A and B are shown apart, each in its own frame.
Chain A
Amino acid sequence: MIPIKLYLILSGVLFVIGIGGVLFRKNIIIMLMSIEIMLNAVNLAFVSFSNLLMLPKGQIFVLFSITVAAAEVVVGLSIIVSIFHKKESMDADDMNVLKG
């Protein structure tokens, strides 16, 4: 039996990987994927806490979180597609019209 603490550590590591992806990668699709990794890290944390505390409601929260993540991807990808039609580029560095 793997101790629950290890799951929590894994969840923390995944979350940090996600943060790194959002902060250091330039491709918008990869940034979106990193955000998905962060959300899944949270789901893992919810499930392991729910196992640790013997409270099944933690697993219900995961369902909400997955639903919201799906809605986010729909909105995000549609914006990305319309940007790609316009700019032919996925690079976050090309998003430089607004500044000051």
Chain B
Amino acid sequence: MFIYLFMPVFISVLTGLIVLLYDALMINVRKWHLLFISLAGIVISILYSAILWKLPFSFMNGMFVSDNFSIIFSVLFLLSSAIVLLISYPYLNDNNLNFGEYYALILFATAGMIFMASTLNLIVIYLGLELLTLPLVILTCFKKGRDFSHEAAIKFFILSVFSSSFFLFGIAFMFGATGTVNIAQVVMALSTHKGISFPYMLISVGLLILGLGFKISIVPFHIWTPDVYHGAPTPITAFMSTGAKLAGFAALIRILFYIFPAIHSSLTEVFIVLSVITMTLGNIVAISQKNIKRMLAYSSIAHSGYVLMVLTVFSPATVAAAIFYLIVYIIANLGAFGIVLTLRQKDKEYLDITHFSGLAGKNPFLAGFMAVFMFSLAGIPPTAGFMGKFYLFNVAVNNGFTILVIVGLINTVIAAYYYLRIVYLMYMKKETENVPSTISPFVKIPLIILGIATVFFGVFPSSIVALFKTTLFLTLKL
């Protein structure tokens, strides 16, 4: 009976193993079989998650919980991995990288993300974090023979292990302060033996936020982001900036939700400062970037800053707004990276911003979709990005963070400059050099879906936000 609860994560691990064995043992492996098996696994996993909707359950003292919050995130992780697998298929073929390991590692990383979102136990969050990070490190240097892919991998590896040891030290202090690593029991444990343990508790929360802040690239811990996003293969960059980042947010939201009541407002100011510097620095540095992947890296830093705005107050509205914003962000980001992927010929990629010049004349389909995704990231109606920012700022004003919202609005204006520059280059400039574009149905279909989703959530956002408000929050508290 219990096995049903583990099905989403179990199936993604199992599919990964099957893909590995299939590639290793079968003679005459057709490469699309690997893609098909992985996608089938992901679809079954999503269906199992859908079955578990509205059946909140906690297993082994909160080590594995399955509530609406975790299911929403699991489905998002699985969908983003599916899209990443689809858009990377032609890329892998052209670079002779189409091995079973690629699919298996993405599926293992997805399992790690699901663990991070569906547990109350800090040790399990740590294990999920590592299960996510190690496959990502290997995937970063998957394209052998390129100088900077190894460099990106070692930078990513050293800094992520460094930061996760901070996270682990935070868990040790939490254990020392309260005698438990279950975040749902922390508040109760703290009230029973007060006094000596409170400083430990503060140290612990600081270290935990540091560890997760690295994953979601909050500003003092963001240094790895542009280098690693630049050096990794483009589909992996798409994966890192969507699924992996979302996993960090899932764990952060859950930890803060349970721990904030214990330490009251000691952290509110910290979060306000972090939010302001994260979005400002991300947006200002993004302006001067020449490489599209670096630009999107800084833009993803800035988007983390926007979400941090509301993570100091927890109510149904704030959690719903944060999750809606994250969904909108990953849709637009996956789409933008999908289009970056199409500007290449065989294994040569064209990653300069100027390579987008005159794209509209050559390939109106790509240019149109890129414009939609850029509008969404910039927050221009009628795309989903506008509604995401609207809900976020609305919630922040209602909770009295007016100054934060003003900073956020100024930042939106700064951000519009570099997003709209791409649109300007595509539609107003003449082509400077001959940039080829290879577009296959594996990229075309996800792009169409993502584009439709961007416009759909921009026009009809209220139904999904209302759904989050009513279903998500109630079961978060088991």
Contacts and interface: CB of A to CB of B under 8 A. Distances in A.
B162 interface: yes
A99 B223 CA distance: 10
A84 B162 CA distance: 21
Interface in B223-270: 226-227, 230-231
A35 B230 CA distance: 25
B66 to A, nearest CB: 22
B185 interface: no
Interface string B203-237: 00000000000000000000000110011000000
Interface string B160-179: 01100100110111011001
Contacts of A39: 165, 168
Of listed B123, B151, B155, B173, residue having the most chain A CB within 10 A: B151
Given A64-B127, A98-B231, A100-B290, A55 B179 contact: yes
B157 interface: yes
A49 B170 CA distance: 13
Contacts of B179: 53, 55
Given A64-B123, A64-B127, A86-B150, A46 B158 contact: no
Contacts of B148: 97-98
B164 to A, nearest CB: 8
A17 B171 CA distance: 19
Interface residues of B, number: 39
B98 interface: no
B78 interface: no
Interface in A6-60: 8, 15, 18, 22, 28, 31-32, 35, 38-39, 41-42, 45-46, 49-50, 52-53, 55, 58
B211 to A, nearest CB: 11
Contacts of A99: 227
Given A61-B123, A95-B154, A46 B230 contact: no
A100 B175 contact: no
B151 A72 contact: no
Contacts of A58: 175
Nearest to A39: B165
B141 A82 contact: yes
Nearest to B176: A49
A95 B155 contact: yes
B289 A100 contact: yes
Contact of B157 (A42, A53, A79): A79
Contact of A71 (B134, B151, B289): B134
B126 interface: yes
Of listed B162, B172, B294, residue having the most chain A CB within 10 A: B172
B152 interface: yes
B151 A100 contact: no
A48 to B, nearest CB: 8
Interface string A51-85: 01101001001001100100110011001101100
Contacts of A65: 168
B157 A76 contact: yes
B153 A79 contact: yes
A60 to B, nearest CB: 9
A97 B161 contact: no
Contacts of A35: 158, 161-162, 165
Contacts of A68: 126-127, 130
A65 B175 CA distance: 14
A98 B172 CA distance: 35
Given A35-B158, A58-B175, A100 B150 contact: no
B175 A52 contact: no
B154 A79 contact: yes
Of listed A8, A83, A100, residue having the most chain B CB within 10 A: A100
Contacts of A31: 158
A61 B294 contact: no
B471 to A, nearest CB: 33
Of listed B147, B158, B294, residue having the most chain A CB within 10 A: B158
B58 interface: no
A38 B162 contact: yes
A75 B138 contact: yes
B137 interface: yes
Contact of A98 (B137, B152, B171, B173): B152
Contacts of A52: 176
Nearest to A71: B134
Interface of A: 8, 15, 18, 22, 28, 31-32, 35, 38-39, 41-42, 45-46, 49-50, 52-53, 55, 58, 61, 64-65, 68, 71-72, 75-76, 79-80, 82-83, 86, 95, 97-100
Given A61-B181, A79-B153, A95-B154, 10 more contacts: A38-B162, A39-B165, A45-B172, A61-B123, A75-B134, A75-B137, A79-B154, A83-B150, A95-B155, A100-B294
5 contacts: A39-B165, A41-B169, A61-B123, A64-B127, A86-B150
